Structure 1
Amino acid sequence: MAAEVLSPRARYREQNRAEIKAAALQQLAEGGVQAVALTRIAKDMGLSGPALYRYFAGRDDLLSELIRDAYDDAAQAIRRVDAAPSVGARVALHALADAYRDWAVAQPHRYLLIQGAPLPGYAAPPDTLLRARAVLGPFLTVFAAGVPAEPLRPVVEEMAAWVRKEEGVAGWLAQHTGLAPDDDAAGTALAGTVLAWSQLHGTVGLEVSGQYAGMGHRAQTLLAAQIGILADSFQL
């Protein structure tokens, strides 16, 4: 199907939106979320304050766009990993974890933007949940083949109840694994994915925020050990 041809006005609008987002990302990298200032962006672009609001309704609207873009970019990095069954679940899990960490370390300001509320009172739009799930989707495929250790049973049971209750979760699971909510592997796939996300967020978040500085280990060594233990827990 032919790509949609934008009018000159629409192209100009998209060009300006992209330039505004690029300027906001630069501010974010330099000083965090608090440094993102629409008035400064407008001044640097030679626009009036009111003119800028034709492109974004306010700072929260601009932040929402940056969050969407960050999730989409992270998901793309994860999708580039070869997690086919022929690779082996354990190898695939380590590769997915490495891709997640590599993306975060390369763009710490964007990673920190999507991990938690960027500003007090900020509420992310509902569609960001789908984007977050897209980042973790390939992990579902890996853990669907797992056999959880007995101590993980309570987590598996809660995840199994969750997927039977939530239609959106069921759809997410089916998209990546083909499993139905009542399939025995459904709870296992979700439990492994949530546990992996917890491990990743903890280790990568500490690294990106500089909490490991001065300690006698490399973050990638710690993450590899944690992912290896998790793989063992699911017999991957």
Structure 2
Amino acid sequence: MATAQQGPRARYREQTRTEIKETALRQLADGGVAALALTRIAKDMGLSGPALYRYFAGRDDLLNALIRDAYDDAASAMGGAAARSEAAGRSPRERLHSLAGAYRAWAVGEPHRYLLIQGSPVPGHVAPADTLERARAVLAPFLPLFAGGAPGPGVAPVVTQMTAWLGAETAVGDWVAEYAADAADPAASARALAGAVLAWAQLHGSVGLEVAGQFAGMGHDGDTLLAAQTDMLADAFALA
């Protein structure tokens, strides 16, 4: 009997947590992290302040949940784009463009969530310990694309440093091996990691500026700029 009663309670609790997060996201969209206030969330939902703490221990706990959800959604978008490209038999260069486009589409479509995980750190907030794994899941689809590349001299220093990183941190090598089929070859692992890191840097630079409104009034579209940057990165690794 207790088990039967626990089911509805658990579902109600999860539903309420979801509603709290949705209300928090609206506050983020309206005014950024500074606008996030548990008392205001409680008021908007018709809850008392103490009642809200039955679902989240505090503002940081709620922020952690929003951060986890954002990374997971971004990773899902990237994974979906990778799967579609692979199923369509696209070339590595085409798959790179597809991933870059998916990253930009998610960020532009969810700017407040993108800025939550890629914008300025929230003062006084310590990100959850599992953030790193979630962030790596977003970048993981890039790894197999670069594993088979041929890095040119312009990116060779990055490959060299990634080789050293792989040698120093087993966890990084395990992550690369999980997603890049050629990871048994140390050189392929270094290429994969260098390409993923460079892709992240270019994506964050271009997309971050766009989401922050820095391209307003300029004579280009964000997708045009990102496509040009993506081609330059593909050229640097000789991706066909």
> What's the TM-score bracket when you normalise by the shorter of the two chains?
over 0.9
Question: 2:13 — aligned with what?
Answer: 13
Report 1:186-197 matches (<5 A).
186-197=189-200
Task: Kindly provide the amino acid, as one letter, of the partner of residue 86 in structure 2.
Answer: A
Q: 1:161 to 1:6 in 2, by over 3 A?
A: farther
SS state at 1:96 partner: helix
Give how far 1:140 is off. Answer: 0.4
Give ranges in structure 2 of 5+ residues lacking alignment: none
User: What stretches of structure 1 of length at least 5 have no aligned partner?
Assistant: none
User: Which residue of 2 is the match for residue 222 of structure 1?
Assistant: 225
Matched, 1:128 2:131: yes
* 1:138–1:6 distance in 2 versus 1, CA, 3 Å: farther
Question: Deviations for 1:33-90, whole angstroms, at most 9, x for unmatched residues?
Answer: 1111100111122221111111111111101100100111011111111343931100
1:185 to 181, 188, 198: 188
How many Å apart are 1:181 and its aligned residue?
6.5
CA distance in 1, matches of 2:192, 2:6: 42
Distance 1:159 1:167 in 2: 12
Say which of 62, 83, 86 aligns to 1:84. 86
Q: String of CA shifts for 1:159-216, please: whole Å, max 9, x gaps.
A: 1111222122112101111344662111111111100100000000000000000011
After superposition, residues 1-236 of structure 1 pair within 5 angstroms as 7-81=7-81, 82-84=84-86, 86-180=89-183, 183-236=186-239
**Is the Cα contact below 8 Å between 2:147 and 2:180 reproduced in 1?**
yes
| Identity, % of aligned positions | 64
Larger displacement relative to structure 2 (156-165 or 209-218): 156-165
Number of equivalent positions: 232
Structure 1 runs of 4+ with >6 Å offset: none
| CA distance in structure 1 between the partners assigned to 2:181 and 2:73 by the alignment | 25
Report if the CA contact (8 A) 1:164-1:182 is conserved.
no
Using the alignment, how far apart are the partners of 2:129 and 2:167 within structure 1?
21
> Judging changes above 3 Å, is the alpha-carbon distance between structure 1 residues 124 and 181 closer, same or farther for their aligned structure 2 residues?
farther
For residue 80 of structure 1, give the secondary structure of its aligned residue in structure 2.
helix
